[in-house]
Structure 1
Amino acid sequence: MADDIVVQDSDDRSERMIRDPKRYFAEARRRAEREVRREVESGPRRAERAEHG
Structure 2
Amino acid sequence: MAGDIVVQDSDDRSERMIKDPSRYFAEARERAEREVRREAEVRKSASDRDEPDE
- TM-score, normalised to structure 1, is 0.74
Larger helix fraction of residues: 1
CA deviations over 1:29-52 (Å, ceiling 9, x no partner): 00000000000011122232xx4x
Which structure would you say has the larger Rg? 2
Equivalent residue number for residue 37 of structure 1: 37
Equivalent residue number for residue 20 of structure 1: 20
What is the one-letter code of the residue matched to 1:10? S
SS in 1 for 2:11: coil
User: What do you get for the CA RMSD once the two structures are aligned?
Assistant: 2.3
- TM-score, normalised to structure 2, is 0.73
CA deviations over 1:1-35 (Å, ceiling 9, x no partner): x8465431100000000000000000000000000
Aligned residues: 49
Deviation above 4 Å: which 4+ runs of structure 1? 2-5
Matches within 5 A, 1:4-15: 6-15=6-15
